[in-house]
Amino acid sequence: MENIWMAQLEGLGSYSIEVLGTSKTDATSRLRREYNNNWKASKGGGKSFNEIMEYNGGFVQELTLGKVYMDGFRE
């Protein structure tokens, strides 16, 4: 089966941001770029990407295409 990676950051006001990528590095860097460019000042309280990921419980997870997941792709 084919795998993809999902990076998610919740708790940005009433928003969350998610991105899919082809590797853990790809997904993380895309989420980091989005947060730094569009969310850090307005919804992130100026926290760095690493700080906000830890503070808000953000995560990066490998997903298998075709597999059934429940509760927001958590296992």
Distances (CA, A) of 53 to 1, 6, 56, 67: 29, 14, 5, 26
- pTM over 0.95? The answer is no
In degrees and rounded to multiples of 5, residue 25 shows phi and psi of -65, -45
Per-residue pLDDT of the chain (75 residues; tens, 9 = 90+): 799 999 999 999 999 999 999 999 999 999 999 999 999 999 999 999 999 999 999 999 999 999 988 887 766
